[in-house]
């Protein structure tokens, strides 16, 4: 009994330790594959988590922990008469009225100005109060209309210090302020300036207007009841904001982007898992005689499975642990270099703090271990099931080459995948789209044995004179499961990468074409006041139109507009829509506008988010006026993911009385020199305005747009590169393992007169064939998956469409790289295998 009891232990040491000692690189690759997958998933998750907590932080900061808020739906604010009305609602302990403005300080530093009644804010939002730190103690400065408190980030951005003066521009007004202190309650990275509410109203032309009311509730107030009581008294142009819907809004802005990144990371983990599976399969297949031997020696089938299970567990655990550490490092580096949106442009501000997530660490670690276990257990079960007597003789491939592989399962998976792509988004996320991609991937891989067979059959039917090529094809034909394993590794990584590449290339191409459509004019003049609300007034616009050399001039202004409390603001774009450069990139011809209706053109994302269709009527909550408008068309807009609505410039002026515009587009007369026209345009601008003017040629804007696109996809490129890397490593590992396992076969070939060179050529041919077949299949599968990304995932996540573009050059490069990698590895491994003397090699075959 004692002997028997210790056998599993002995066997374990024998099998696992000696295997690892002999082939350390194979184990290393399996561990690396798991580690990379786990690292990617974990890093992306950490970065997303940090970004979100940063966002929550920002919300808390600006809202100053008020119990409840009423916000203006647009920057124009609401009437201050609302303030006393709200203060009288029972259940409200105190209301703090707030003027909240986007502003620009010296040095083009953007900041948020909060005009507070310090006496109410002390009760409602004490965190927003300034701290006097200029050495003076005159409390009346808290009420001064020329004093301001700046947060550390605002001081840093403007290069000003406490005690100095600062010029600030907002809503088209500029004023000079003395910095009398800092804002200790505002965390690093947030540029905020706090001043007296009366000063903010007066200095920035906001008399009679507020943008916000902050509430402190009575201790016994029912928040939900109070919210609805308040909501019923609010005019259009103001809405209740709670922490919850503020968070939902910030979440919805970037959620699709974050989920997509998470999915990419999971795909990398999946590829890693798959590579572990193929490595384990090969390892188990190769050791089948050994397993058979110890089974004959008395090891139970269960114990054998347990051994392999343990082996996979160790590989998975080591890989997962390494992956978590690597992921932590990757996340820290990425946050530092790219920011929390990984260049996506969703969050602004300083470098966020990395917040470690123990739950996620456990989850991703477990996924890594699970990938390894599944990868190890399936082949282990096969090995345990086989008849020891047969396996002991190592009769080669476990699958009978005469049986044609089945394709039914593969077809079923593909059909399910195709069906999944038709399903709608779940909760704004393309869950079924991703499921459909996973099913297609699984179906594609399952199809590999059949496909390899079918392709090889074509070769086999015609006589091949070349010995090496013939041998290679016969070998692939005769050992279908080994070929399929190598192929599936290649296909898995290639198809994922191709799918992403086709999507990105299509997106990039569509963006480039769109940039030509939306920038038809020659020159663009922007007042660099990022939403500060200044601009060219009506007189200046008229003067500019009559400048010599100007053939046509359009003006435009963008203002944020809130259509729903839990969704991000859309941009309301007041824009010249007629004239040579006034057209919009409409998706379908615009509808005829019914008489007396005000036409608007809704962007594709806005249409998707709010379910707007051409021909609909909308009510726009522009401050003071709430016009009913007619949706005349949907236009393509990649620039504003939260959506935008275009309204005719003159109509906007008529509705709001606001004729100021911040952007001008210029079509030049034939032969007019751009520089001369720019100089003449500058000359007609009022003093002070010209300083804020930036002039761009349309070509420059296009390059900037594409550069921004590339920056935001930088992380995607990285995420793409890693599966390829893992894939190529996997191909190399598979091919070299298979080659080394065939020493006896090479000895036999040498004995029957095949030259060493011919064997090497055979191995190269085998590798190249595998690479070529895998590459072609991977590209085909990748193309199918890219269509799901383009037609399902993107429209459902981001509400925009794009036109497919095929990166032919990339396809060629991928196939060549795969052939070279597989063939090259085969050559390398083959030379090592052939260095063993032929006689010894054959003798090994007892």
Partner 1 sequence: MIRRRMTRWILLVIWLVSCGFAQAPARAEGPVYADVLPGHSLTFPADYGAHPDFRTEWWYVTGWLHTPDGPRGFQITFFRSRPDVDQNNPSAFSPKQIILAHVALSDPKLGKLIDDQRIARQGFGLANAATGDTAVVLDDWSLVRGADDVYTARAGTEAFGLNLHLRPTQALLIQGDRGYSSKGASAGEASYYYSAPHLSVAGTLRQGGRTVEVSGDAWLDHEWSSSFLAARSAGWDWTGLNLDDGGSLTAFQVRDAAGQPVWAGGSFRDASGATVVLRRDDVQFSTKRSWLSPRTGIHYPVVQTLTIKLPSGSRQFILTPLFDDQELDSRATGGPVYWEGAVKTDGGKGYLELVGYATAVKI
Q: Which residues bind partner 1 (CB under 8 A)?
A: 80, 83-84, 87, 94, 97, 117, 119-120, 136, 138-141, 143-146, 196-199, 201-202, 207-208, 219
Return d(Cα 454, Cα 457) in angstroms, integer: 5
User: What are residue 526's phi and psi, to 5 degrees?
Assistant: -120, 140
Where do the DSSP E strands lie in 541-607? Answer: 550-561, 570-575, 598-603
Q: Which of residues 101 and 606 has its CB atom nearest to partner 1 in the complex?
A: 101
d(CA 340, CA 362): 22
Take residue 419 and report the two structure tokens written for it.
């069906």
CA distance 710 to 264: 17
The nearer residue to partner 1, 197 or 618, going by C-beta atoms, is 197
Of the pair 90, 588, the CB lying nearest partner 1 is at: 90
Do residues 570 and 645 lie in contact, with contact meaning Cβ atoms separated by under 8 Å? yes
Q: Between residues 145 and 251, which has the closer beta carbon with respect to partner 1?
A: 145
- Which residues are CB-contacts of 721 (< 8 A; sequence separation ≥ 6)? none
- CB-CB contact of 340 with 352 (8 Å): yes
Question: Could you give the CA distance from residue 172 to residue 204 in angstroms, rounded to a whole number?
Answer: 7
6 versus 176: smaller Cβ distance to partner 1: 176
Nearest to 726 by CA among 289, 347, 268, 307: 268
Q: How far is the CB of 538 from partner 1 (least distance, A)?
A: 24
Beta strand segments in 464-580, E = 523-527, 550-561, 570-575
**Residue nearer to partner 1 on the CB measure, 84 or 107:** 84
Q: Kindly state the DSSP code that residue 653 receives in the 8-state scheme.
A: H
Q: How far apart are CA 744 and CA 131, in angstroms?
A: 83
Minimal distance in Å, beta carbon 122 to partner 1?
8
Nearest C-alpha neighbor of 780 from the set 499, 443, 465, 383: 499
- Paired tokens of 799: 């509400």
491 forms bridges with which residues in the sheet?
none
Quote the least distance from Cβ 146 to partner 1, whole Å: 5
Report the residue number, 196 or 604, with the smaller CB distance to partner 1: 196
Which residue's structure tokens are 């599976």?
277
Q: Closest approach of Cβ 197 to partner 1, in Å?
A: 5
Side-chain-side CA neighbours of residue 138 (13 Å): 8
Nearest distance, CB of residue 56 and partner 1, angstroms: 30
| C-beta separation of 684 from 543 below 8 A | yes
Vertex 727 angle, CA 724 and 731, to 5°: 140
Q: Backbone dihedral region of 630: left (phi > 0), alpha (psi from -120 to 50 degrees) or beta?
A: beta
* Residue 618 C-beta: closest distance to partner 1, Å: 33
Least separation, in Å, of the C-beta of 191 and partner 1?
A: 24
CB of 232 to partner 1, least distance (A): 21
Closer residue to partner 1 (CB): 162 or 838: 162
- Of 449, 443, 456, which Cα lies nearest the Cα of 492? 443
Q: Which is nearer to partner 1, 217 or 438 (CB)?
A: 217
Rounded to the nearest whole angstrom, what is the least distance from the CB of residue 243 to partner 1 in the complex?
Answer: 24
Comparing CB distances to partner 1, the nearer of 25 and 136 is 136
Q: Any idea which residue has 């396996």 for tokens?
A: 391
Tokens of 427: 């909760």
Backbone CA torsion sign across 330, 333, 338, 340: positive
Residue 201 CB, nearest approach to partner 1 (Å):
4
Q: Which helix (H) or strand (E) holds 696?
A: strand 693-697
Nearer to partner 1, 54 or 141 (CB): 141
Beta bridge partners of 104: 110, 169
Output the smallest distance, CB 140 to partner 1, in A.
4
Q: CB of 114: closest distance to partner 1 in angstroms?
A: 13
Q: Give the shortest CB-120-to-partner 1 separation in angstroms.
A: 7
Report the residue number, 81 or 333, with the smaller CB distance to partner 1. Answer: 81
C-beta atoms surrounding 578 within 10 Å: 12
Q: Smaller CB distance to partner 1: residue 68 or 86?
A: 86
């Amino acid at each position: 009994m004692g002997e028997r009891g210790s056998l599993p232990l002995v066997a374990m040491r024998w099998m696992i330790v000696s295997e690892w000692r002999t082939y350390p690189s194979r184990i290393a690759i399996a561990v690396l594959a798991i580690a990379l997958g786990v690292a990617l998933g974990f890093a992306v998750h950490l970065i997303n988590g940090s970004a979100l907590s940063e966002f929550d932080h920002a919300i808390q900061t600006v809202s100053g922990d008020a119990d409840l808020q009423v916000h203006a739906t647009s920057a124009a604010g609401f009437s201050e008469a609302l303030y006393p009305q709200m203060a009288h609602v029972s259940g409200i302990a105190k209301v703090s009225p707030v003027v909240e403005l986007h502003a620009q300080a010296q040095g083009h530093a953007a900041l948020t100005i909060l005009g507070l009644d310090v006496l109410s804010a002390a009760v409602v939002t004490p965190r927003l109060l300034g701290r006097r730190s200029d050495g003076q103690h005159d409390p009346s400065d808290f009420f001064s209309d020329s004093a301001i408190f700046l947060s550390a980030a605002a001081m840093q951005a403007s290069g000003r210090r406490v005690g100095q003066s600062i010029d600030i521009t907002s809503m088209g007004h500029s004023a000079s302020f003395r910095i009398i202190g800092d804002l200790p309650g505002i965390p690093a990275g947030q540029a905020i300036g706090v001043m007296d509410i009366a000063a903010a109203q007066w200095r920035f032309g906001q008399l009679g207007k507020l943008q916000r009311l902050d509430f402190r509730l009575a201790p016994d107030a029912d928040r939900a009841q109070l919210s609805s009581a308040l909501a019923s008294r609010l005019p259009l142009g103001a809405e209740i904001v709670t922490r919850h819907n503020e968070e939902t809004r910030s979440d919805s802005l970037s959620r699709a982007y974050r989920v997509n990144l998470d999915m990419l990371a999971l795909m990398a983990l999946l590829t890693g898992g798959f590579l572990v599976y193929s490595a384990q399969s090969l390892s188990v297949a190769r050791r089948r005689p050994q397993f058979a031997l110890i089974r004959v020696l008395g090891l139970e089938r269960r114990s054998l499975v347990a051994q392999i299970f343990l082996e996979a567990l160790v590989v998975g655990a080591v890989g997962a642990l390494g992956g978590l550490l690597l992921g932590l490092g990757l996340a820290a580096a990425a946050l530092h270099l790219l920011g929390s949106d990984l260049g996506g442009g969703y969050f602004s501000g300083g470098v966020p703090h990395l917040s470690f997530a123990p739950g996620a660490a456990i989850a991703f670690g477990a996924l890594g271990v699970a990938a390894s276990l599944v990868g190890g257990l399936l082949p282990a079960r096969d090995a345990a099931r086989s008849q020891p007597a047969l396996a002991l003789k190592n009769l080669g491939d476990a699958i009978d080459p005469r049986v044609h592989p089945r394709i039914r399962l593969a077809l079923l998976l593909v059909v399910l995948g195709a069906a999944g792509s038709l399903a709608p988004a779940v909760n704004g996320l393309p869950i079924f789209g991703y499921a459909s991609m996973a099913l297609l991937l699984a179906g594609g891989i399952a199809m590999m044995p059949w496909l390899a067979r079918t392709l090889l059959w074509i070769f086999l039917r015609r006589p091949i004179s070349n010995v090496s090529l013939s041998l290679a094809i016969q070998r692939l034909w005769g050992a279908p499961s080994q070929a399929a394993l190598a192929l599936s590794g290649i296909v898995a990584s290639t198809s994922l990468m191709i799918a992403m590449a086709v999507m990105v290339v299509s997106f990039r191409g569509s963006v480039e074409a769109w940039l030509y459509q939306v920038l038809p004019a020659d020159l663009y003049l922007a007042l660099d006041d990022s939403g500060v609300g200044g601009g060219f007034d009506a007189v200046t616009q008229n003067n500019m139109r009559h400048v010599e050399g100007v053939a046509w001039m359009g003006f435009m202004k963008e203002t944020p507009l809130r259509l729903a409390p839990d969704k991000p603001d859309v941009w309301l774009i007041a824009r010249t829509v007629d004239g040579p450069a006034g057209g919009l990139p409409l998706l379908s011809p615009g509808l005829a506008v019914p008489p007396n209706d005000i036409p608007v053109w809704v962007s594709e994302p806005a249409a998707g988010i709010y379910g707007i269709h051409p021909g609909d009527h909308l009510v726009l909550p522009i401050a003071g006026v709430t016009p009913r408008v007619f949706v005349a068309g949907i236009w393509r807009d990649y620039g504003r993911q939260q959506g935008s609505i275009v309204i005719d410039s003159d109509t906007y002026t008529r509705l709001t009385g606001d004729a100021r515009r911040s952007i001008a587009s210029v079509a030049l007369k034939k032969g007019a020199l751009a520089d001369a026209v720019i100089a003449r345009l500058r000359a007609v601008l009022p003093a002070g305005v010209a300083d804020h003017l930036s002039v761009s040629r349309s070509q420059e804007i296009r390059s900037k747009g594409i550069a921004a696109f590339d920056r935001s996809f930088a992380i995607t490129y990285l995420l793409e590169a890693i599966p390829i890397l893992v894939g190529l490593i996997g191909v190399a590992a598979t091919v070299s393992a298979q080659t080394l396992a065939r020493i006896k076969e090479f000895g036999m070939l040498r004995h029957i007169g095949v030259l060493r060179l011919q064997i090497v050529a055979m191995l190269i041919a085998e590798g190249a064939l595998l690479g070529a077949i895998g590459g072609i299949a991977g590209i085909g599968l990748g193309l199918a998956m890219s269509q799901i990304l383009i037609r399902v995932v993107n429209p459902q996540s981001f509400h925009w469409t794009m036109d497919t573009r095929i990166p032919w050059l990339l396809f060629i490069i991928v196939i060549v790289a795969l052939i070279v990698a597989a063939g090259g590895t085969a050559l390398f491994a083959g030379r090592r295998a052939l260095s063993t003397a032929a006689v010894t090699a054959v003798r090994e075959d007892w």
